[in-house]
Amino acid sequence: MNRHALAPDAGMLFPFDPPRPASFWMRNTLIPLDMIFIRPDGSIARIAANTVPMPRLRSPCPIR
């Protein structure tokens, strides 16, 4: 990612088809981000707010 800032209305979406458990490593992410894990039915499974750069996060259930 190598960004030093991200606009308040900007973001990224990583869809999985089929839904599956997923891990994210925030490699080269220089800023904290909010990560939202969405279940296949569209409900929110977890919000990882203000994650610190460079951790590895795992979804709590299959996500889409």
Mean pLDDT of 59-64: 76
DSSP assignment string, 4-36 = S---TT-------SS-B--EEE-TT--S-EEEE
pTM: 0.71
pLDDT tens column, 38-54: 999 999 999 999 887 76
**Going by DSSP bridges, is the β-strand pair 33-38/44-51 parallel, antiparallel, or unpaired?**
antiparallel
Supply the pLDDT for residue 64: 74
Question: Cβ(51)–Cβ(26) under 8 Å?
Answer: yes
pLDDT tens column, 1-57: 778 888 989 988 889 999 998 888 777 788 888 999 999 999 999 999 988 776 566
CA 45 to CA 62: how far, in whole Å?
A: 9
